[in-house]
Amino acid sequence: MAEPRSIDAAAAPSRQSLLALGWLNFFLSGMQSAFGPVAAAYLAAQQWSAKDIGFVLSIGSAAGLVSQIPGGELLDVVRSKRLLVAIGVVTVASSILILRLWPSFAMVTLAQVLQGMTVGVLGPAIIAITLGLVGHANLAERLGRNQRFAAAGGIAATVAMAVIAYSGSRWTMFVPVALALPLLAALSRIRGDEIDFRRASGAGSAPRGDPQTRGRHLDLLRNRRLLIFAACAVLFQVANASMLPLVGGMLAAEAGRHAAPLLAALIIVPQLVVALFAPWVGRRAEQRGRKPLLLIGFAALPIRALLFALFSDPLALIVIQILDGITGAVLGVMTALVIADVMEGTGRFNLAQGFFGTLMGLGTSLSTTLSGLIVHHFGHAVGFASLAAEALVALLVLALFLPETKDAHLA
């Protein structure tokens, strides 16, 4: 599966590779839906305590956080991105099987660690392959298509597992395992000779040879646009990461046995919006620039938080989640695109992805801790109001300090 060294040729991937890339996103999203809330629900059904579930999920999150920067470095230097994806897919499938077949504390902990180790490679590798295939000029639109396939895959897997679980079958967790086979088939259909190694690491049109590897960590800290965008993203994540769990907690307390289907609707509605609008976001970003769309995506978050503070009717909560879909469509495309903009020509695009992922993970941890404390002492309404304030700060920092990044390398 090794991709040979390539020269700086125009990006002209075949229809076969592009179609396979779409299905790769579809099946990978479906596989990864087995972790998080689904894993927690499965362990709860196995009579695990909330404390033990939280502990093993935290271990998986920590492993994912630690894997981000090493994973990015690996992607910048390893030529065969497809081989890394294949290894990651087999690892995730093995983790799900361990979770399903041996739900003891030690084995579930091992499964969470193995799955967490793939976090810093799988998602970033798909983006690197995309960049290597289509080049920077076509990245925005292709990222939008990737997001459409990924959202559709997440919806399909979630619905399939929900239907199987509702029927009382014990085969629920085998759905994402089964997706590994078509995923690997799609991966094999992406032509390795079409993935340009220099483009995939953001080296652009630099002289032929391997991307520079010395001093790259310090270069990230000198990149002003990257640091500003990272600060905006961390503030955004502090406000966003705990919002859906807080809503889920409200539903569990008020809706009783109807909470599970309502929570599923809260997850699926934003995915539908992403599937519908992500390709448009990609096209618009290339036509009009990144910042106007970023402002829309960030602005939807404080509005959503305030509406959650004001309304508790289940139907209203589901409608409000449309705003989450708008944010997801924008950020799902813009995050990788802005990083590619500000890192173009450096050969350190994937390291920057890892750096960004680490900061986002820290923002997630901070979000759940802060919101949990606020809700415990002051209630859900104040908790959502505090998230709205944090989201507003993120929006203001973005509006005031982040310049337009399209063609940033020419500035």
Note the pLDDT tens digit of each residue in 11-44: 688 999 999 999 999 999 988 876 766 676 677 7
Domain range enclosing 134: 12-198
Cα–Cα distance, 104 to 108 (Å, whole number): 6
Question: Residue 28 to residues 5, 119, 125: CA-CA distances in angstroms?
Answer: 27, 12, 12
Across 237-242, average pLDDT: 90
Give long-range contacts, CB 8 A cutoff, 24+ apart: 369-373.
Answer: 370/238, 370/242, 371/242, 371/243, 371/246, 372/242
Q: 352 and 319: one domain?
A: yes
Does residue 253 share a domain with residue 143?
A: no
40 and 173 part of one domain: yes
Express each pLDDT in 86-101 by its tens digit. 999 999 999 888 888 8
Map tokens 């504390």 to a residue: 105
Residues 189 and 272 in one domain: no
Q: Residues 147, 220: one domain?
A: no
Higher pLDDT, 330 or 59: 330
Judged against a pLDDT cut of 70, whether residue 169 lies above it is answered with no
Q: What is the CATH number of the domain that holds 351?
A: 1.20.1250.20
Q: What value does the mean pLDDT take over residues 316-341?
A: 94
Q: Is the residue at 7 inside a domain? A: no
Residue 285 sits in the same domain as residue 362: yes
Q: Is residue 351 part of a domain?
A: yes
Do 72 and 108 sit in the same domain of this protein?
yes
104 and 191 in a single domain? The answer is yes
Lowest mean per-residue pLDDT among 57-61, 167-171, 308-312: 167-171
The reply to whether 164 and 300 lie within a common domain is no
Q: Is residue 244 domain-shared with residue 174, that is, in the same domain?
A: no
What is the predicted pLDDT for the residue at 222? 84
Mean per-residue pLDDT, 220-228: 89
Q: How many Cα neighbours within 13 Å face the side chain of 156?
A: 18
Residues 165 and 229 in one domain: no
The residue from 165, 198, 231 where one domain ends is: 198
Same domain, 378 and 257: yes
